[in-house]
Amino acid sequence: MNTITIIGMGLIGSSLARRIREAGLAEKVIAADHDIDVCKKVVELGFADEVTDNLAQSVEDADMVVLAVPVGVMGKVAQKIAPHLKDGAILTDTGSVKASVIEAIKPFCRSGIHFVPGHPIAGTEFSGPESGFSTLFEGRWCILTPLPDVSVRAVEAVTHLWEGCGSKVEIMDVKYHDLVLGITSHLPHLIAYTIVGTANDLEDDIKSEVIKYSASGFRDFTRIAASDPTMWRDVFLSNKDAVLEILQRFNEDLTAMQRAIRKGDGEYLYRRFGETREIRKAIIDSGQA
């Protein structure tokens, strides 16, 4: 790969840029962000060969362009850069939702542009270019959801990029991706945001106690609920159907728990609490813990 342009210098984009540099995965890394202050920070941090806030110009020489912007602006950015992409350029993204992102980007991909939707399953609760680090993707999954008409060579090139970042790459159906991630990622984030929000609405005196004794369970939710608000707003708006479906199931299960507590049904609670240990064990056994 000669030149890779990464658009969006948040946690994901800046981590990818660092890794490409360190591992020599491309000869030249161009970092682009519409925010001039972010660009200045990237120049300071010094992990890109070129830094610009001119998105259109940033892609002109790129063999591969990675869109690492919030899901809600993928289409707008694609529209802006598409006319400036070289023939044969590979376009990929890092969005947490795939169906809506494909719908937003695809119309701008003229023939000769190879679009390979992707999703690295990696992140922290921190945002911005200063929060990135080159080992973020090490040992993590990266899911690609290529459309049937894309060239094998383009899929291989994107696979190669993520493998170079230390990731294990999987190919998945678009809709199935959105359902699986709805369960493993989107619902947990929604629940965490909600429970921390509920605590945040408490009176000030009890809130200080909640902070003091947060180690008893609550704390784990606050880490998740400190994730980037823009990114997550877009995720929920973009994966509405899958999230609402799984949320419906969760609500039914929570109502059953609530009823068991109210009725003093210890047998039900014990049985449900025992079942969940299996999944933990499977996660530990699979090396994901």
Helix (H, G, I), strand (E, B) or coil at 54: coil
In the chain, which residue ranges form alpha helices assigned H by DSSP? 11-23, 36-45, 55-58, 74-81, 99-105, 152-164, 174-181, 187-200, 204-212, 218-224, 229-238, 240-263, 266-285
Q: Residue 188 and residue 276: Cα distance in Å, rounded?
A: 15
Least separation, in Å, of the C-beta of 36 and a copy of itself? 23
Which of the stretches 49-57, 78-86, 156-164, 262-270 binds a copy of itself when contact is defined by CB under 8 A? 262-270
Helix (H, G, I), strand (E, B) or coil at 221: helix
| Under 8 Å between Cβ of 71 and 235 | yes
Give 157 or 257: the residue with its C-beta nearer to a copy of itself.
257
Q: Does residue 133 belong to the site contacting a copy of itself (CB under 8 A)?
A: no
Give 57 or 230: the residue with its C-beta nearer to a copy of itself.
230
| Under 8 Å between Cβ of 54 and 121 | no
Question: What is the phi-psi region of residue 203: left when phi exceeds 0, alpha when psi lies from -120 to 50, beta otherwise?
Answer: beta
Q: Residue 163 and residue 166: Cα distance in Å, rounded?
A: 5
Give 150 or 257: the residue with its C-beta nearer to a copy of itself.
257
Q: Residue 174 and residue 265: Cα distance in Å, rounded?
A: 41
Of the candidates 125, 138, 156, 173, which one interacts with a copy of itself according to CB under 8 A?
A: 125
Give 56 or 121: the residue with its C-beta nearer to a copy of itself.
121
Least separation, in Å, of the C-beta of 69 and a copy of itself? 16
Q: Does residue 194 belong to the site contacting a copy of itself (CB under 8 A)?
A: yes
Which of the stretches 43-51, 81-89, 130-138, 188-196 binds a copy of itself when contact is defined by CB under 8 A? 188-196
Least separation, in Å, of the C-beta of 145 and a copy of itself? 13
Q: Does residue 76 belong to the site contacting a copy of itself (CB under 8 A)?
A: no
Give 47 or 232: the residue with its C-beta nearer to a copy of itself.
232
Give 68 or 225: the residue with its C-beta nearer to a copy of itself.
225
Of the candidates 46, 107, 112, 188, which one interacts with a copy of itself according to CB under 8 A?
A: 188
Q: Residue 182 and residue 180: Cα distance in Å, rounded?
A: 5
State the number of binding residues for a copy of itself (CB under 8 A).
93
Q: Residue 116 and residue 122: Cα distance in Å, rounded?
A: 18
| Under 8 Å between Cβ of 289 and 283 | yes
Binding to a copy of itself by CB under 8 A, coded x per residue (else -) over 219-258, reads xxxxxxxxx-xx-xxx-xx--x--xx-xx-xxx-xx--xx
Q: Does residue 74 belong to the site contacting a copy of itself (CB under 8 A)?
A: no
Strands of 28-32's sheet in order across: 50-52, 28-32, 3-7, 64-67, 90-93, 114-116
Give 63 or 130: the residue with its C-beta nearer to a copy of itself.
130
Of the candidates 43, 73, 150, 180, which one interacts with a copy of itself according to CB under 8 A?
A: 180
